[in-house]
Structure 1
Amino acid sequence: MPGLPDEEFDYEAAVRGCAARHRDALEHLYQREGARLLGVARRIVGDAAVAEDIVHDAFINIWNQASGFDPARGSARGWLYSITRHLALNFVRDHARLVPVDEAVAARLDADVALQDWRDRHGLAWADYAGRMGPCLDELPAERRNCIVHAYVEGLSHSEIAQRLGTPLGTVKAWITRSLKALRDCLA
């Protein structure tokens, strides 16, 4: 399983394997995503040793909570990242005096997880449809990209986005308008 292209690795089957208590399924998930999850945790907490502990705890949670995974609520891969991200953010909140919170990184991770979840659910159609869109989205500032993802991937209203981000509604509308123009220009 290691080394397979993303479209050939069945994250959902691996999570089901964890639910069935197959240790090799957990090992395959770790080999597949451990380094990336470590990178996510490290960016959030800013400390390599703490990030390693968080990833360890994340895989314990994945093992223990695998039976509760619901594919109707999102992709298995997105679920792995969500567990890791929540543990890292909880650490930051619990140790706020020790670890500075970087809002730009948190916004970028939110957008990355939402986009990856959408890509996972739409499979190869994503590559055909958005081969040119991905690089254009990557050029947007994190907060504007996050608004686009929330609006057009998750289907949130402008008001819901403003509330989720803690940003004024007018700012969210302006970011979306400017982002759509930038995307049109990039794709032209």
Structure 2
Amino acid sequence: MLLRSCADGDRTALKQLLEAEGGRMLGVARRMLKRDDLAQDAVQEALVLIWRRAHQYDSGRGSAKGWIYTILRNRCLTLLRSEDRDISTSPERMDALQDAEVVDEAFDRLAGRSDLRRCLEGLDLQTRRAILSSYILGHSHGEIAGRMEAPLGSVKSWVRRGLMKLRECLS
């Protein structure tokens, strides 16, 4: 396992991890950050954190890939929240980005027989969209509530209960 090798200080394992997942990581970061330069920064920072924290990975708590992408997602969210960064999007681009369409398209791309897809299908549509908006688009509960035109408390409940159902379904 590459993470174990990274934890042992094997630099070639980090290079192999970059070769195996780097392209997908960059794609995820680009979707979240909407800027190539920031996406590259996020991937680089995530890889540094993965190298430094590889010893913290616990296979009993989830997959290695999930752990890696959680680190990347958190780096992207940190960059988005950073006060000294200005991420501008043209009005045309904003019109083109319909959150529900992006989230539904991402759901549709999941393998037809995957456990995650099966479990997500078990959730009602608004709960599934709220969870996917958070994880795919990096939206906060407040942003999701505004975009879905729903009360903040409802969105928080949907996400919390939906994640509990997903955990139960996937275990």
Aligned to 2:128: 145
Dislocated runs of 4+, deviation >3 Å:
100-105, 129-134, 146-149, 165-173
Q: State, as a whole percentage, how many aligned pairs show the same letter.
A: 31
CA distance in 1, matches of 2:42, 2:76: 6
Q: How does 1:107-186 map to 2 (within 5 A)?
A: 108=103, 127=113, 130=115, 133=118, 137=121, 143-146=126-129, 167-169=152-154
* Among 34, 37, 58, the residue aligned to 1:46: 34
How far does residue 99 in structure 1 lie from its aligned partner after superposition? Answer: 2.0
What are the ranges of 5 or more consecutive residues in structure 2 without an aligned counterpart?
90-96, 133-140, 146-151, 162-171
**Which residue does the alignment assign to 2:86?**
98
- TM-score where L is the length of structure 2: 0.58
Q: Distance in 2 between matches of 1:131 and 1:91?
A: 28
2:33–2:76 contact (8 Å) kept in structure 1 = yes
Distance 1:87 1:171, change over 3 A: closer
The root-mean-square deviation of aligned C-alpha atoms, in Å, is: 4.3
- Please give the TM-score of this superposition, normalised by the length of structure 1: 0.53
Q: CA deviation at 1:36?
A: 0.7
Which residue does 1:25 correspond to in 2? 13
Identify the residue that residue 10 of structure 1 maps to in structure 2: none
1:81 aligns with 2:53: no
Structure 1 unmatched ranges of 5 or more: 1-12, 120-125, 150-161, 177-188
Cα displacement string for residues 79-125 of structure 1 (whole angstroms, at most 9, x for unaligned residues): 110111101100100148612699949x95xx98xxx9xx9xxxxxx
